[in-house]
Structure 1
Amino acid sequence: MNFSRILLLNALGVLLITSWWVPYFTFWSTLDDAVFWWFNQTIGDDHLRWTEILAALNSRRYDIFTILCMLGIMSWASYRDRQGGWRRWFGIGVTMLITAGLVSEMVRHVITYGHPSPTMTFDEVNLTSSFVEFVTKDQAGNSFPGDHGIMSMIFAGFMLTFGDRLTRLASIALTLLAIVPRIMVGAHWLSDVLVGSLSICLLLLPWVLCTPLASRMSASVTTGLKRLESILPLNKGNRS
C-alpha cells in the first residue's frame, strides 16, 4: 500500500473542493464563465461546420464510439501484456466496472448539491441542437458533478495503474476526447469536471488503485475465469 501517495492525492482532491467552495473566491466562477462564452460564440450559422462537429461529438453515437475505443485500448493492452494476457485484462475490466458502479451509486446518494449547466443558466445562448437535425446533448438540469468525467477518469485511472506507457497515453487522450466536448457545448461547466469529477476520483480511486484491492480483485476474477475454463465441456473435449 502506497499510503503517502493516497494522502497526497486525497489532499489534492480536498484542495480542489475547498478552492471551489470557499465564499468570495471567484476563481472558478470567473473561469467557468470565460470558458463557456469563449466556446459558445463559435456556435451558430457563421460556423456551421464547426457547430455540426460539436453536435456530433455530443451525440449518443459518439458515446458508443468512446466506449468501443475504451474496449479497444484495453484489448491493445492485453495484446501487449506478455505475462497475463487477455485473462488478466478481463479481470481488470470487471474490477473497473465494479468500481465505476460503486462510485456512481455513492455519488448519487451522498452528493446532494447540484446546479444546471451554463446553457440552462444564461439567456440567449447558442445551442448546438438548434442547428442540427439529430439528437445531441447540450443542456443538463444538473451538471454537477460531471458523471461523464467521473467514468472516463476511472477508466484512465485503471489504465495508468495497469497499462504500459503507450496505453496510458492513449487512455489519457481518450479521456480528454470524451470530456472536453461536453464543456465546449455548455452541457457542463469546466468546474463540473476539474472540481466535481476530478476531486471525487482523487478522493476515492486511490483507495482502490494505490492499495492491493484492485490487484487482488482482478486476480480473483482471473483465477475464477481459469477455473471456469477448466471445467467447460469444450475444454474437456479438446483435452480428450
Structure 2
Amino acid sequence: MKITRIACYNILGLALLLSWWLPHFPFWSTLDDDIFWFFNQTLSITDHPLWTTLVAVLNNRDFDIASFLALAAVFAWAMRLDTRPERLKRWSAIGVSMLVTAGLLSLLVNKLVTYGHPSPTLTHSGIHLLSQEVSFATKDRSGNSFPGDHGLMLMTFTAFMWHFAGRRVGLVSAVLAVALSAPRIIGGGHWFSDVYMGALAIALLSLPWVLCTSLANRMAAWLQRSLERLASRFHH
C-alpha cells in the first residue's frame, strides 16, 4: 500500500472540497459564472453558426457512441503495447475491473452525495439555449448537474490507464477526458465546478484506495484466472 501517495491524493481532494465549501471564498462560484457566460455568448446560430452547431452535435446523445469508441481505441492501444503473454485475457480482466469500480463508485455517489444543484442553463436567465438554437436534439440542461458523473467516469478510465498502461497512455487518456467532458461545460449542461471540483474531488478521495493499494491488481488477477479457467473448460 502506497500510503503516502494515497494521503497526498486525499489531501488534494479535501482541499478542493474545502475551497468550494468555504462560504467567504467565492472562487468557484465566480469561476463558474465567468466560464458559463464566456461560452454562452458564443452559442448563437445567427452569429456563430458553425461553432453553435458543433457544440450542439457534441452534446447530442449519439455523440456518446463516438466518445466510447475513442476510449475503446485508447484501451486497444494500451493492450497492444503490452508485450506479456495472455495480454488479451489480462486486459479483459482490467476492463472488467474498471467497469466494476466505475459502477460501484457511481452507486456510492448516488447514495452518499445528498447535495445537488441545477445546471447553469436552469439558473441564469437571458441565455442562449442550444436546444433552441438548432433543429436537432441536444443536451443543454440538467435538474441536478452535481457532481459531473460523465467527468467522473472519464477520470476513472484515465486513472486505470495510468496505473496499468503507464504514463504515455495515461497522459493521452487525461487529454481525452478533458476533451470529452468539455462539451457539457461549454453547452451549459454542467458548471465547471461540477467536473473539476465535484468529480475530481471524488476521484481523488476514492480511486487511490483502489489503485494505490493491491485491490485493483488483485481484482484484475482474479478475473484473469477466472477467464483462463473458463477458456480451459471450453477448450476441453
Fold match (TM-score > 0.5): yes
What is the CA deviation profile of residues 176-223 of structure 1, one whole-angstrom value per residue up to 9, with x for unaligned ones?
121111111111111111110000000000000000000000011111
Matching of residues 72-83 of structure 1 within 5 Å? 72-83=73-84
| Alignment partner, residue 48 of structure 1 | 49
Which amino acid is the alignment partner of residue 100 of structure 1?
A: A
How far apart are the structure 2 equivalents of 1:159 and 1:78? 10
Query: Deviation per CA, 1:113-147, whole angstroms, max 9, x where unpaired?
Result: 00011110000110111122221111011010001
Among 209, 212, 215, the alignment partner of 1:210 is: 212
Relative to the length of structure 1, the TM-score reads 0.95
RMSD: 1.0
Aligned counterparts of 1:51 and 1:85: Cα–Cα separation in 2:
43
> Partner amino acid for 1:77?
A
Separation in 2, partners of 1:90, 1:46: 47
Q: Deviations over 1:65-86 (max 9, x none)?
A: 1112112211111111001512
Aligned partners of 1:116 and 1:221: how far apart in 2?
A: 39
- Give 1:3 deviation, angstroms: 0.4
- Structure 2 residue identity aligned to 1:168: G
Q: 1: distance between equivalents of 2:124 and 2:132?
A: 16
* 2:144 is the counterpart of 1:142: yes
In the alignment, which residue of structure 1 is the partner of 2:38? 38
Following superposition, the deviation at residue 172 of structure 1 comes to 1.2
Tell me the distance in 1 between the aligned counterparts of 2:103 and 2:128.
34
Cα distance between partner residues in 2 of 1:204 and 1:15: 14
Q: Does the CA-based 8 Å contact 1:13-1:202 persist in structure 2?
A: yes
Give the share of equivalent positions with the same residue, in percent: 50
Q: Which runs of 4+ in 1 moved over 6 A?
A: none
Kept in 2, the 8 Å contact 1:116–1:143? The answer is yes
Instruction: Give the count of matched residue pairs.
Output: 234
Per-residue CA distance 1:208-239 (angstroms, 9 max, x = gap)? 0000000000011111111111110xx23xxx
Distance (Å, rounded) in 2 between the aligned partners of 1:61 and 1:49: 19
Tell me if the contact between 1:119 and 1:138 (Cα under 8 Å) persists in the aligned partners. yes
Provide structure 2 residue ranges, at least 5 long, that are not aligned to the other structure. Answer: none
1:170 Cα deviation from its structure 2 partner? 2.1
